[in-house]
Chain A
């Protein structure tokens, strides 16, 4: 019996000492967190980096853009991540949080663009929508006949636009925690809402009588006004339009299908009446199963996203801590590998993975910023 107790005690102490001693030392591999959209690209770079250099392969966790920046800004040193990926730009509040925790110099790297596409099953008739149609089909509140906002009454695509087929509106897409959803809401939904003159005017207004008059005309409830005021202290037309434009309807016409884009593709094949929302790389890989929806007369193709004519695309970034360069082995080399022509260039391997590359002048600027480790200024 004594033996057993002794054994257990030694096992426990060795486990803990082994753990703490490692934690106290510095890391010999790069630790990356962040966006699930950038994850498929960052992992490819990391893997090639590990294979072609004497450094270890970086470890990458997919935490989402917001979660990644939170971990990234929590402090300096081997315990905290060196790099975070993001499918949106860092916010002022996040930069401030970083600064508070001693992270002064952040290197921002714009790596390329990602298109968000709508698609339906191959074999069904393909869709051609305007952003206004998307807004009218999927927003929680839309302008009714008298111009006042009402809860979205549209049940079929024909209700939205008489040129569209008479099938039920059924769109599968990611949940609110997803960066894809954020970007879709901002670019497609709000972009569509702004096609309405009153909503677009409202967006330009500051707090005042004019704003309140237009809110009354549109029938925006004063609750929204109060909520923004309580949260931010001041109200602008932009904030109100954000609420109107970016709210997805919750009456069953938009179905949250989880973060797994492959699953959405499978569901589309099973249900030819449904449309799905996901990243361009999934459309590209599954061309035999699904077809892209034309948005604002532009079809989602590599070229149209690259030249910016496809309306629903967003920039992809990563952020690195300058203070970790030279401390964590391989940091500078990893940054260099990421921005190399072989990876990020027009013919680079990231392009094969579905990323849309930067234009040549943009690319040169990014490369110069990384080589000089120029810190971010917002």
Chain B
């Protein structure tokens, strides 16, 4: 008898081992496929986005002649700020090529300098008032085409009618490059300015700050409300049909498409409460509505996971219901609640659809200073840049995705850290 069982085990053993090996292999393969896609995605984003962190500059000897700039009083801040620096920069560019003359030839220089170059120079000048009436060698922001040339998107071997720079312009740029007067430098401006319609001027700070403010409002509202609701439903609410209805509704709301919350926000916060459109305040309120179900559900399951023996022990020692919950159960459930909140926040950070309805998909140049200023958020910025016709925005889009990913990774690591801090074993 035992022999027979042994026989049977022996005969099927190889088959069972094979099945297990196969299963492990399948698992490994699926993990590998996932990893491969992730690597591919990261590779394309990073390889496309990295060039955006450098920007081309042209070195020019600029003569800041007060008469030329039509500034009569150097101490008049407004006059210094709004003077026509573009014309002196243009003159400096012509001077760099003394043998080029004629209106038509000079016109070819038109897009070498960025249309915002004068504006950037005006900021430098404001800090260096002693530059006036002297000639300074400064690095001036180059235009988009020059930038594309420096990064190899416009090459000499392309047919002339298919590139945005003609042979003459390419030759001039090559000369500048040889003389060391055309260089790529780290693009600090990308982190200092808001959106722009010129790729070389566009920065991420406006959207980054908009995202921070929006997520801040969301966190401030959704965490306390979500946790309070979860604690009440889990620990205090009587179990009757009313609680059941609420539970079903919360589960349903978690699956409602986010655009619906945008419509709700438009109707309530903007049309009824008359809060300002495009503001992080309204964005935060809408995203609060969206993330609340997620936070409540995960907080409730965290509370459920606290062993009943802890509650019973506390009650047995004479603690009131309130003391049991707030001294013992909630602190133990905190890591789980935090995880749920961070997941909700990450979801809110990546959301665009509801923000469309409340006007956050907008062209906002100024960096928002508070929660009622017009603002956009990072995913919206990515969407807007991806939709722009200028070629230079391709790399900006990828760079913005990188910034968003860094933001997300920071948030998630913070969550892991906080969870480790609060974690307790029982």
- Number of residues from A at the complex interface, CB < 8 A: 51
- A56-B366 contact in complex given A19-B273, A23-B274, A354-B389, C-beta closer than 8 Å: yes
A26-65 at interface with B (beta carbon < 8 Å): 29, 31, 39-40, 43-44, 46-48, 50-54, 56-57, 59-62
B82 within 8 A of A: yes
* Contact between chains at A52 and B82 (CB < 8 Å): yes
**Could you say which of B225, B281, B374 contacts A15, with CB atoms under 8 Å apart?**
B281
- A288-B389 contact in complex given A52-B82, A54-B78, C-beta closer than 8 Å: no
* Contact between chains at B363 and A60 (CB < 8 Å): yes
* Contact between chains at B274 and A47 (CB < 8 Å): no
B372 within 8 A of A: yes
* Contact between chains at A57 and B220 (CB < 8 Å): no
Bound-complex Cα distance A23 to B277 (A): 9
* Contact between chains at A349 and B115 (CB < 8 Å): yes
Which chain A positions have C-beta within 8 A of B370? 18
What does the 1/0 interface line of B259-277 toward A look like (CB < 8 Å)?
0000000000000011111
Interface pairs (29), CB distance under 8 Å: A8-B224, A8-B225, A11-B221, A15-B217, A15-B371, A18-B371, A19-B275, A19-B281, A19-B371, A20-B274, A29-B374, A40-B389, A48-B115, A50-B366, A51-B119, A52-B119, A53-B82, A57-B366, A59-B364, A60-B363, A61-B278, A62-B361, A62-B362, A122-B162, A261-B389, A281-B389, A285-B390, A286-B389, A288-B162
Q: How large is the interface on B (under 10, 10 to 19, 20 to 34, 35 or more residues)?
A: 35 or more
**Which B-chain residue is minimally distant from A11 (CB atoms)?**
B220
- A19-B391 contact in complex given A12-B221, A57-B366, A349-B115, C-beta closer than 8 Å: no
A268-316 at interface with B (beta carbon < 8 Å): 279, 281-282, 284-288
A222 within 8 A of B: no
Which chain B positions have C-beta within 8 A of A43? 197, 363
Which chain A positions have C-beta within 8 A of B111? 352
**Which B-chain residue is minimally distant from A288 (CB atoms)?**
B162
Which chain B positions have C-beta within 8 A of A29? 366, 374
* Contact between chains at B161 and A287 (CB < 8 Å): yes
Bound-complex Cα distance A128 to B314 (A): 85
Top 6 nearest A-B pairs by Cβ distance? A57-B365, A60-B363, A61-B362, A22-B372, A19-B275, A288-B162
B387 within 8 A of A: yes
**Could you say which of B359, B366, B372 contacts A61, with CB atoms under 8 Å apart?**
B359
**Could you say which of B116, B362, B387, B390 contacts A59, with CB atoms under 8 Å apart?**
B362
* Nearest CB of chain A from residue B289's CB, rounded to whole Å: 14
B388 within 8 A of A: yes
A1 within 8 A of B: yes
**Could you say which of B158, B364, B391 contacts A285, with CB atoms under 8 Å apart?**
B391
**Which B-chain residue is minimally distant from A284 (CB atoms)?**
B389
**Could you say which of A19, A46, A50, A285 contacts B389, with CB atoms under 8 Å apart?**
A285
* Nearest CB of chain B from residue A313's CB, rounded to whole Å: 17
Bound-complex Cα distance A259 to B363 (A): 17
Which chain B positions have C-beta within 8 A of A4? 224
A260 within 8 A of B: yes
Bound-complex Cα distance A15 to B221 (A): 10
* Contact between chains at B374 and A59 (CB < 8 Å): yes
